[in-house]
Structure 1
Amino acid sequence: MNAFDLSGRRALVTGGAQGLGEGMARALAAAGAKVVIGDLQTGAAQTVATSLGDGHGVVALDVTDDDAWASAVDSATQQLGGLDIVVNNAGVEISSLMTEIKADDIRRQLDVNILGTALGIKHALRTMRPGGAAGRGGVVINVASVAATIAFPGIGIYSATKSAIDRMTRVAAMEAGKLGYGVRVNCIYPGLVPTEMGAGLASDMAELGLFGSAQEAVEAVVGLTPSGRLGEVTDMADAVVFLSSDASRFVNGAGLPVDGGMGM
């Protein structure tokens, strides 16, 4: 049996309408899982879900809303007939020098990246633990960032939120183990990927005066990366498949760098 085969598994991916989340949803489906995409962009999410084929779906989800999470997890569980995998991918990045940070921008990143992930962990564990609506254990994968491990300029608050995701991951794994939930909790640290968010980050670095141009910012990232290139969506998506699968059955409470060595 292929240890990476996800046939019969059911997954919820947040922020799956585009970017890394879309790639993760596609990779999970290609490995055999049935996927529900949780996103505020329900039209774009439906387009992705439809392209995956029969048995996949969409739920409207504001990750900062506790009630919305409860409803989304319940709906996904009903649509799929269970829930085995939750990928907390939704996130936002707002660039700023530390001398220019705005309170509202800080709150937005805290709300989506930290609160959103915390609520995702909460409802995944409640659903997957014994006595929950799914109740067969499972896997939670949180998306942190290489920014949690390096001091890259212009993203101080974003970096802090991704560091928080790392800590929450490890505590959740310990609690789930101690309480016999049968749920593994891990996170990945993606490197820079030229998605819409990644391209925007490079442009922001130039606008903040930290680099001469967006291209110079990209070259700086590549220069810090032993693998000598930017990441690709498939690099991150394949890591999520690995952590969702039996190939990682003894990996728990871990942070997996998928950054070409940038954060070592």
Structure 2
Amino acid sequence: MSKELAVFGLEGKVAVVTGAGAGIGEACARLFAKAGAAVVLGDINVEACERIAAELNGQGLQAKAVRLDVTSEEDWAALKQTLVAWKNRWDVLLNNAGIYIGGMLENNTSAQVSKINQINIESVFLGTRAAVECMKPGACFANGGSIINLSSIAGLIGVPGHSIYGATKGAVRSLTKHSAVEFAKFGYGVRVNSLHPGLIETAMGDQALQDFVDIGVVANVDEAAALLKSAMIPMGRLGNVQDIANAALFLASDASSYVTGIELTVDGGFCAA
């Protein structure tokens, strides 16, 4: 058994973070850069990514902003060309970009289902395919890698007002496990894991709290947050973006080199209670 100390660092690695313009994606991109990675920040809001990349570069770190519509095969192809020209390497993909659509199932529309499926599921497929085509043996980079897919605890348990959102996140969990086994069995050297945040203090988290109000579970957002913290989250607080970034760094790093196909919950004990 090796006695080497596992290091949660990304020195020499190139990481791509989707939805990096705000929230969890931004926090992960910042932490990856501080951990030593050259980070590509991808988002449809390229101006936000450019601002963050400029700040990181100003700190002596390595970052590059690109416009990335995660539902566009053309944008994924362009990203691969950017990676070839910039560092000629790709080690980590964080499929973070996604949207939240809540509401009672009986009130959701087919248009909403189509939209959330495209952004939350199809984009993960496109990103995973693009990454493995570059990382597997005989590919343009052929150095293996780690793919991390952002799911949610709504992909593991039932939550009122989260039916179509939870369905997409459950699909992300399933896609993760199938691709992890496939890539391992064929010796690709590419690990795939899913990360399942609980309620996080972001704009999306605020929207989820408001949906609890809108469907009549609680009277107001403050009551929703208080109920979660007092009765549903054993650790007694909502999560923050750094909680998720720290977990993502573990999955991105070589410290998790024997970890693939898992679902890592970061929820303050919500799913365990």
Q: Structure 1 length as normaliser, TM-score?
A: 0.96
Q: Is the 8 A contact 1:64 1:119 kept in 2?
A: yes
Residue 41, structure 1, aligned to residue 42, structure 2? no
Structure 1: gaps (5+ residues): none
Q: Deviations over 1:2-57 (max 9, x none)?
A: 61121101000000000000000011111111100111000001111111115310
Give the match for residue 190 of structure 1. Answer: 197
Structure 2: gaps (5+ residues): none
Aligned residues: 264
Distance 1:24 1:111 in 2: 23
Distance 1:2 1:77, change over 3 A: farther
How do 1:157-236 residues align onto structure 2 when only pairs under 5 Å count?
A: 157-222=164-229, 223-236=231-244
Divergent runs of 4+, >4 A: none
Give me the identity figure in percent. Answer: 39
SS at match of 2:271: coil
Give the match for residue 18 of structure 1. Answer: 22
Distance 1:217 1:52 in 2: 36
SS at match of 1:17: coil
SS at match of 1:56: strand
Tell me by how many angstroms 1:81 deviates.
2.6
Give the match for residue 139 of structure 1. Answer: 146
Moved more, 32-41 or 74-83: 74-83
Residue of structure 1 aligned with 2:253, choices 232, 245, 258: 245
Residue 257, structure 1, aligned to residue 261, structure 2? no
Q: Deviations over 1:57-89 (max 9, x none)?
A: 012111111222121233134323311000000
Residue 32, structure 1, aligned to residue 12, structure 2? no
Q: Deviations over 1:149-196 (max 9, x none)?
A: 221111100001000000000111111112111111111101111111
Residue 111, structure 1, aligned to residue 118, structure 2? yes
Distance 1:190 1:73 in 2: 28
Q: Structure 2 length as normaliser, TM-score?
A: 0.93
Residue 83, structure 1, aligned to residue 90, structure 2? yes
In structure 1, what residue type is equivalent to 2:54? T
Q: Is the 8 A contact 2:37 2:62 kept in 1?
A: no
Distance 1:236 1:8 in 2: 22
| CA RMSD between the two structures | 1.3
SS at match of 2:260: coil
Tell me by how many angstroms 1:217 deviates.
1.7
Q: Is the 8 A contact 1:12 1:76 kept in 2?
A: no
SS at match of 1:263: helix
